[in-house]
Amino acid sequence: MDSLSDEQRSVLDEFASITNVSLDDQERANKSVILLQNHSFNLNNAVLSYFENGLDNVVRNPTPEVVPTPEESFASGAERFESTAVHRNLHDEFVMDSFLPKLPKAPKISNHWQFDLGIHMSRSAFRASEKESEINSSSTQVSSQRRPNFLWIILLIIPKALSMLYSFIRYLFGINTSSMYKALPSSFDYENYEESYNIVKETDGVNAEELHIKTNDFNNLHEASQRDFRFLTVVLVDDSSVGFAKQFLQSPNLKSLLEECSENDFYVANISKSPEALELAHTYKVRRVPYVMLVGNVTRNPQVMSSMSVIYKSNLVYDKESGDPQLANKVIRNLKKSVNHYNPQLVSKRYDKQEMELSRLLKEQQDEAYLKTLAQDREKKQEKQRKLEEEEQKRKLEKVRQGFIFSLIENNWFETQLKDLTAKEVVRVSIKIPDGRRMIQKFPKTMSMSAMYLFVETQLFESKENAEYEQCDMTVEEFCEKFTFNFELFKPLPKVVVPAEKLTIEEFQEIKSGDNILVEYLIDNETDEEEES
């Protein structure tokens, strides 16, 4: 990058501003230089190549090798020509392009004036506080008045008299100079700064919002003009030419200009009252005021990428005493010509920007829809995986349940609980299951109510031939806590539901010998069985 010329570096900076490529990143900066070198620093072609392919695959074009001409006598002229051909971009070497004048560039202004204004405001506040303290201290003291010296009176009167005499002679002989041709001040006089000054508010019959008029923030207007492809008209005056600005704003031709092209902003400021306006005048090398300038993101050569340029400018001669109203109308007519000439270019660029914005929004919507679809597919996959895991867990639990029930049946666990028990220690009940079978069974009074449910579960269990059941090391209490039953036990007339709890038969006190107990499937389970069938 150090070997680039000033013009090439200017092209690189403009390429970075258009493509939003950070030159602080050394790798991307080097690739940007290579891309520009591949296109012979043609900004338009380089930008098009960037938006089509980006910078990831940018490589330096290989230098064409010159193949020596065949020495054989039978080599044709075409072969000799093809062997020494070096392909070049003849359009970039077309000399007439250099004769087409370019529009002057319209840069932003520096923000140094804000720092100077801040220093002035702080100094003014400090002086005001000091003055207030001096007044307070002097009020307590008796000030002695001294009679003015006669010499001082003469020194004050004579310069004023000479100034009046000089003005009378100029008026008598019709001499009129200086005020219309005075040069701009090199620095701003902050003693004349008025924070509340607004030239638009002092102009009667002017609506700032309707006419798109601003009196500050030039850089923001510059950015909006460049980004949104709008015209920006600048009007600079001083205290002696404020009348021109008022005539310009009050002219009916200005509204006519906005009716023909509404995409036009106005910046109107007084360089005697605004340090920003004076900074703007110095940046654009204004020779005198009133000064009118039209700025836009346009180009005179269609082969060159557009940039912020000065389309029209005029350093006017304004006589404060005569105040010619036709001067403002003449300037507006010239502005109309320039606007009408470049407005189609800005309109086409606005349409291109809208199409790019719509394409970007469409791509964002497509990407959003794609990501949403991916998220939905991921959720469906996770839901499917969760259901498979739940079903696998249910199958494992069902195998454990069947293995435990099969082990109870195979080991005659309920019969072993009745050994060595007397008739008073057991309860003899009749149990009727849904398939119509009725059985008489004895239970120890110390057996839990959930164990009675487990006994019914063994009677409902249907063992399959050649089926293998897993051995399960589990107690009856652990099984009753881990598994639920899909049926309910109850005593009819009156109906008393037998709970599946750890409560013993003796503690429950509702089951006596000779009672009938019915088995009823739960409604939810019956509904599930019907749906499965």
**pLDDT (tens digit per residue) in 359-382:** 888 988 999 999 999 999 999 999
Q: Are strands 291-298 and 231-237 parallel, antiparallel or unpaired?
A: antiparallel
What is the per-residue pLDDT for 299? 87
Q: What is the dihedral of CA 495, 499, 500, 504, to 10 degrees?
A: -110
Rounded distance, CA 469 to CA 407, Å? 9
Question: What b/e string do you get for 44-59 counting C-beta neighbours within 10 Å, with b at 16 or more?
Answer: ebbbebbeeeebeebe
Q: 72 or 512: which carries more pLDDT confidence?
A: 512
Joined tokens for residue 284: 């654009």
- On the question of a common fold for 190-356 and 412-521, the answer reads no
- Boundaries of every domain in the chain: 6-53, 190-356, 412-521
What is the per-residue pLDDT for 242? 86
Give the contacts of 8 (CB within 8 A, at least 6 positions apart).
36, 41
What is the per-residue pLDDT for 174? 53
Query: How large is the average pLDDT for residues 450-470?
Result: 82
Rounded distance, CA 243 to CA 43, Å? 44
User: What rounded mean pLDDT belongs to the chain?
Assistant: 79
Give Cα 82 distance to the centre of its chain. 54
Q: 217 or 2: which carries more pLDDT confidence?
A: 217
Say if residues 473 and 501 touch (Cβ distance below 8 Å): no
Rounded distance, CA 340 to CA 233, Å? 14
Tally the C-alpha atoms within 13 A of residue 316's C-alpha that lie toward its C-beta.
32
pLDDT over threshold 60, residue 525: no
DSSP structural state of residue 526: H
Rounded distance, CA 289 to CA 286, Å? 8
What is the per-residue pLDDT for 184? 79
Query: How large is the average pLDDT for residues 461-468?
Result: 73
Say if residues 295 and 249 touch (Cβ distance below 8 Å): no
pLDDT over threshold 70, residue 10: yes
CATH 3.10.20.90 fits 412-521, yes or no: yes
Q: Residue 107 CB: number of other CB atoms within 10 A? A: 13
Please give the CATH number for the structural domain made up of 190-356.
3.40.30.10
Lowest mean pLDDT among 98-102, 419-423, 456-460: 98-102
**pLDDT (tens digit per residue) in 329-370:** 888 899 999 889 888 888 888 888 888 888 888 988 999 999
Rounded distance, CA 37 to CA 15, Å? 12
Q: Residue 261 CB: number of other CB atoms within 10 A? A: 17
Adjacent-strand bridge partners of 504: 448
**pLDDT (tens digit per residue) in 243-276:** 888 888 888 888 888 888 888 899 999 888 888 8
Query: How large is the average pLDDT for residues 122-145?
Result: 62
pLDDT over threshold 60, residue 441: yes
